Homo-oligomer: A and B are copies of this chain.
Amino acid sequence: MKLSFQDYISIKIHQTDLNLTKFIKSKLEDFNLAPEQNLIMMLLWEKDGLTQNQLADQLDKDKTNIARMASNLEKKGYIYRAHPKEDRRSLMLFLTDSGKELGEQVIPVAEEFNDIVCKGISSEELVELERLLTKINQNVQEQ
């Protein structure tokens, strides 16, 4: 049976992801923060001093991406990086004052973003959506 284009759920997920990224990107533009850079900042606002390796784990990304995004965040002055004495291979990320101030502005924007995304979706539906996405993740990772 030949599937047509719209039948692929993966394509729909991809489109949704692109639209979400475009939307949050526009919201973050004023703060000189790209979407994925913001994810690193979100983790740092929760807990300072994470290493790039820990960030890569938590964000489920290649260490390469984390290194480059961290480097950009450093250039923007939101963080600084330092090798801990215990392990000079690692690089810990710390918020600058500018980075801390940024959190107070951006966290409300992120929550407002989430409210818009979930508008008209009940918490039961949200749970179901998460369950199905988890199932899909399992399906492709079992391979």
User: A residues engaging B (CB < 8 A)?
Assistant: 1-5, 7-24, 39, 42-43, 46, 58, 60, 107, 110-111, 113-114, 116-121, 125-126, 128-130, 132-137, 139-141, 143
Contacts and interface: CB of A to CB of B under 8 A. Distances in A.
The 8 lowest CB-CB distance pairs between A and B, nearest first, are A17-B17, A23-B140, A10-B20, A16-B133, A129-B132, A119-B139, A19-B140, A14-B17
A140 B20 contact: yes
**How many of these chains are in the complex?**
2
Given A8-B114, A128-B128, A17 B13 contact: yes
A137 B21 CA distance: 11
A139 B14 CA distance: 16
Contact of A114 (B3, B14, B43): B3
A17 B128 CA distance: 17
B140 A117 contact: yes
B143 A116 contact: yes
